[in-house]
Amino acid sequence: MNSPAPARARISVIGAGPGGLTCARILQRRGIAVTVHDRDPGPDARDQGGTLDLHADNGQIALREAGLLDEFFELARPEGQEMRWMDPTGKVMSHKVPEAGERFKPEIDRGQLRGLLLDSLEPGTVRWGRTLDKISGPADGPRRLHFADGTTVETDLVIGADGAFSRVRPAVSPAVPEYTGVSFLEAWFSDVENQHPDLAKLVGPGSAAAADGDRGLFAQRNSGNHLRVHIIRRVPVDWITKNGLTPDDTDGIRALLLDEYAHWSPRLRRMIADNDGLYVDRPILALPVPHTWEHNPTVTLVGDAAHLMPPLGVGVNLAMLDAAELALALANAATLDDAVRVYEKTMLPRSAEMAHVLEGGAEHLLSADVPDFMDDDAQS
C-alpha cells in the first residue's frame, strides 16, 4: 500500500495526556484531522497528578507551536521554580530563588495543563472510554484498532502517546518497563497554609528536598494551597506486602516509615506523618537504554511510550517536544511514511542520549550531596 498524504490520512492518537493532546492541537492548527482515544471515561475521571515544570527549550517550544504559550504563562507559577535542599536535620544546605521575571521552567499543575490543551481542541476530538486492546493489520497499513468495548477503528497512522504501559508499543517494540529499585510513596496535604502552616513555611512556594544516601523526601507546592510529598526509598517493588501491609493500611505504613526515618528531624518527619488521606505507591520504572525500534510507516511513539525515564524533570517536556516535532513533520511531509521517518530521525537519537544521561538517575534522588542544579550562585 502506498503511504497516504497526511492531509488525507486517518490519524489516531492513543492517550490524552500532554503529549497526545499537544500533537492533536498542532495538527489541527495545521489543518490536519486527528482523533484522540483515551481509556478514561471522561476528562475529570481521576486525579491528574502533581505539578510540572515546562522548560523554555522544549516544553515551551511545543506550547508556542500550539499557540498556547501566553495562556500557559497566565496559569503558570514562576515562584514554583524556587528550590530548597536540606540535610536530614532540616538545615538548609542550598536555596535557589528565581530572579524576578525568570520564566525558564515555571510550574503548572498537570490538571491545568491538560485542561488548557483539551479546551484548545475542536469539539469531539477526544473519544473517551476507549481502552485499546491491540493493533492489527499489515505494517504498511491500514491498521485496525481493537478496543475493550468490542469496537474497532480503521486508521492509517497510530501515534502511541499512552505512557509507560503503552498498548501501542508492542506493534514496534517488545520492550517493557523495568523497576529501577527506587520507589516513590506519595503523600498529599490540603489547605497547607491553614492546616499545615509549619510545612508550608518549610517548603516555601516551590520545592524542598532532603536525602541521606538511602532515603529521601521531595515536597512540592501545587496550586490551590496543596502540597505533595514524595517519600523516596530503595525498596523491593512489593515492599508493602512483604511487610505484611496493604495499600490502605495508612497507620501501618506510617509506623514503618517513621521507624525508617527515625534519625531525621521532627520537622521533616511531619512530611511523613501529617498527610491527609492514603499514601499512593509509585514504583519508578524505566525502559531499557537505549530504546529504539525499526521504522514502521504506520505506527510511532511519543513521550513515555517511547522513552520512559526516571522522573528527573524531563519526561513531560520531551513528550511535548516529541509531539510538536511529529505534528510538524506530518504537516510538512508528502506522505505519512516520510513524516514518521523525519520525526524518528531526530527523536530516537535525542531520547537515547537523554536516557543514557539519566540511566540510574533514580539513585541520585537518594544522594546526600547537593545536586548539580543547586549551583554555586544559588541564593541562600
> What pLDDT does 313 receive?
74
What is the average per-residue pLDDT within 184-200?
95
**Residue 290 to residue 351: CA distance in whole angstroms:** 8
Q: Is the pLDDT of residue 235 over 90?
A: yes
Cα–Cα distances in angstroms (integers) from residue 151 to residues 41, 146, 239, in the given order: 15, 6, 39
**Longest CA span, the chain:** 67
378 — pLDDT class (breaks 50, 70, 90): very low
> What pLDDT does 375 receive?
43
Report the topology of domain 6-80+102-176+287-360: FAD/NAD(P)-binding domain (3.50.50)
Task: Kindly list the domain boundaries of the chain, sorted by start residue.
Answer: 6-80+102-176+287-360, 180-285
101 — pLDDT class (breaks 50, 70, 90): confident
Residue 346: half-sphere exposure toward Cβ, Cα within 13 Å: 14
> What pLDDT does 129 receive?
96
Top CATH class, 180-285:
alpha beta
292 — pLDDT class (breaks 50, 70, 90): very high
Q: pLDDT, tens digit, for every residue of 40-59?
A: 998 887 666 678 899 999 99
What are the phi and psi torsion angles at 85 (to 5°)? -120, 125
Q: Grid coordinates in use for 163?
A: 505512557
> What pLDDT does 145 receive?
98
Q: Is the pLDDT of residue 133 over 70?
A: yes
Q: Is the pLDDT of residue 249 over 70?
A: yes
Among 4, 210, 252, smallest CA distance to 93 is for: 210
What is the average per-residue pLDDT within 4-26?
97
Chain mean pLDDT for the chain: 93
Poorest-pLDDT segment among 33-47, 321-335, 366-380: 366-380
Contact (CB, 8 A) for 284 and 330: no
SS3 258: helix
> What pLDDT does 113 receive?
95
> What pLDDT does 62 receive?
97
Q: pLDDT, tens digit, for every residue of 344-367?
A: 999 999 999 999 988 877 788 888
> What pLDDT does 371 receive?
66
**Residue 190 to residue 180: CA distance in whole angstroms:** 30
With a CB cutoff of 8 Å and minimum separation 6, the contacts of 49 are 110, 111
> What pLDDT does 377 receive?
36
Q: What is the pTM assigned to this prediction?
A: 0.94
Q: Is the pLDDT of residue 264 over 60?
A: yes
CB 319: neighbour CB atoms within 10 A?
28
What is the average per-residue pLDDT within 308-337?
94
Q: Is the pLDDT of residue 123 over 90?
A: yes
Residue 32: half-sphere exposure toward Cβ, Cα within 13 Å: 30
372 — pLDDT class (breaks 50, 70, 90): low
